[in-house]
Amino acid sequence: MIKPHGSDQLNPLYVEDDAKRAELLKEAEGLPSIVISSAAAGNAVMMACGYFNPLTGFMGLADAMSVAEGMKTTAGLFWPTPVVNLVSDTSAIAGAKRIALRDPNVDGNPILAIQDVEAIEEVSAEQMKTMTQQVFATQDTNHPGVAAFNSAGNHAISGPIQVLNYSYFATDFGETFRTAVQIRAEIEKNGWNKVVAFQTRNPMHRAHEELCRMAKEGLQADGILIHMLLGKLKKGDIPADVRDAAIRKMVELYFPANTVMITGYGFDMLYAGPREAVLHAVFRQNCGCTHLIVGRDHAGVGDYYGPFDAQTIFHKEVPEGALELKIFEADHTAWSKKLGKIIMMRDAPDHSKEDWVFLSGTKVRGMLAAGEDLPKEFARPEVAKILMDYYQSDAAKD
């Protein structure tokens, strides 16, 4: 199986031993504590799961700046985005060398992890601006990732962590949430050697379905990992439980048995386009995948990134040998009226705009909310029914 990033063995930071974990939880109750940001909590869960291997905790300012500016730590480890614990007020932990990190996303703010404090550093406005620009390629606070990153605070708490639970992900998404350790074990159990991952924060329409099929066949892969983001999204994105139900129905009805794993991971979306695509590659390698599908506007939002910037970065900025995982470069896929099937648009230079079935997200949401059937060329009817039920529910109107 493909090696994890940066080490021979996966190093998840979750404390597996029940007795040790109980001991640490008891200790944590007596430690100075702080409620961390949702982004930092997601980072802690990703480290707990092994997705952020080989990191052992939150980066200090020097490493965060080095990663932002050159995609490597001061020690030379390739890494695409800063992994930081930023807070606004450190008075509750002043002078402490060992602290408890409390979960902002669960009622009562239970203890999520214990951190050994190596440093608490003030991040200057100029340093925040540099990290923001390098990671997100914009300073625009209308960008949801920029807004989240710059609202967490300007004090970076660095040091190793021991994670004591998986936040709300394991309880709210028990059927779907999986650690990198668990995914590796299942890949090994299935006897898969070549595995292609598909990243999604949305339900999968027919173009997504066919793209997975194209990648599997084109790479002669043994299996597909559909890996959905379960953390915080931007307003208007479809909730994880609805996406999960829609994807499971599609796989059940339209893929051969034992060829697809449906899983999810706990992380807040960055919407960082190219840099986030590279991060996605790192944690797909850590969970045992050999390939990642990177398509049009991967991990993007709005018009902040070019349609294929997330592919270009792997050729221009990722050093040779930095990752063992390879990307499967995909074009926009859509239903061709001429050919009567879904294809990549680059494979049909003779097509005009009128030869494709296109629906904007706004149009799709409007049709579903109105109870109108989506074209069969765009969505499987069983998937569309699940989405329609959601868009006509009170939850979608809140």
- Tokens 């910037």: give the residue: 309
Q: Is 117 exposed, middle or buried (0-12, 13-18, 19+ CB in 10 A)?
A: buried
Give the residue numbers marked as catalytic.
201-202
Question: How far apart, in whole angstroms, are the C-alpha atoms of residue 368 and residue 376?
Answer: 14
Q: Please provide the distance, in angstroms rounded to a whole number, between the alpha carbons at the two ends of the chain.
A: 45
**Mapped to the 3 state alphabet, what secondary structure does the chain carry?**
CCCCCCCCCCCCCECCCHHHHHHHHHHHHCCCEEECCHHHHHHHHHHHHCCCCCCCEECCHHHHHHHHHHCECCCCCECCCCCCCEECCCHHHCCCCEEEEECCCCCCCCEEEEEECCEEEECCHHHHHHHHHHHHCCCCCCCHHHHHHHHCCCEEEEEEEEECCCCCHHHHCCCCECCHHHHHHHHHHHCCCCEEEEEECCCCCHHHHHHHHHHHHHHCCCEEEEEEECCCCCCCCCCHHHHHHHHHHHHHHHCCCCCEEEEEECCCCCCCCHHHHHHHHHHHHHCCCCEEEECCCCCCCCCCCCCCHHHHHHHHCCCCCCCCCEEEECCCEEEECCCCEEEEHHHCCCCCHHHEECCCHHHHHHHHHCCCCCCCCCCCHHHHHHHHHHHCCHHHHC
The neighbouring-strand residues paired with 14 are: 163
Dig out the tokens for 168 from the structure.
């709300």
Question: CA angle, 345 as apex, 339 and 350 as ends, to 5°?
Answer: 65
